[in-house]
Each structure stands twice: as C-alpha cells, then as structure tokens.
Amino acid sequence: QVQLVESGGGLVQAGGSLRLSCAASGSIMSILSIKSMGWYRQAPGKQRELVAGITSTDSTNYADSVKGRFTIARGSAKNTVYLQMNSLRPEDTAVYYCRATISGSYWGQGTQVTVSS
C-alpha cells in the first residue's frame, strides 16, 4: 500500500507562485511500482479535474487551462512529485489532490490553494 501526503498549499495573490509537494511512502517495491502520478483539483460546486500527470518514464500531460503556467516533475528519489504553479489566477482556487496509480488508485488528503484577486 502507498500513502500520499500533500503539502505546499496556501493563500497567494493573483500572479504569484506556489509549489506543491506530494510524498509517497510505503515499501520500496510499492513506490517503484507506481505507474503514474498526478495532480487533480476540485473547486466548490465543481467536478474534480486532472491538472497534470506524469508517468514512470517522465511523460507529462497538462490541462489546457494550466499549460505554460504549471510544471509537474518527479523528485530524483522517485518518491516525491512536485507541481510548480506560476502566474496563479483566482480560478485556480481549489483543493489539490495527489494521485498515484499502481494496479489501482491512491489519493492524498488534499491541500487547499486559494488565489486572491
């Protein structure tokens, strides 16, 4: 089993930056078996949506709304994934969740990102 813990959320003004971190814990075998990791977000009254994803081979994909502003990357140890968020907008306000996939999906508890106008 893999456990995920997000950090780095907070309150920031429009145009600012934040870096979210997701740390995966568990057996080394489980961590190395992760097929992909991703960041999702959910705003009040809206569906949870994919923000960015990265595979074990470092292939990435992004939602159109964040392309050019957000960057997802895995740490050197491969047990951490980051989401660098630049040029933040009020519409980026949401709870951001980390997800890891092996045979099934594992989710973190989420971290709140609030962008003020």
- How high is the pLDDT of residue 38? 96
Q: How far is it, in rounded angstroms, from Cα 22 to Cα 3?
A: 10
Average the pLDDT over 72-96 and give the result: 93
Tokens, residue 76: 């050197």
- How high is the pLDDT of residue 56? 86
Instruction: Identify the weakest region by mean pLDDT among 10-19, 26-35, 56-65, 82-91.
Output: 26-35
Q: How far is it, in rounded angstroms, from Cα 96 to Cα 14?
A: 17
Binned at pLDDT 50, 70 and 90, residue 75 comes out as confident
- How high is the pLDDT of residue 76? 79
**41 in the Ramachandran plot: left (φ > 0), alpha (ψ -120 to 50) or beta?**
beta
- How high is the pLDDT of residue 69? 98
Q: How far is it, in rounded angstroms, from Cα 64 to Cα 78?
A: 26
Count of alpha carbons within 13 angstroms of residue 58, beta-carbon side:
6
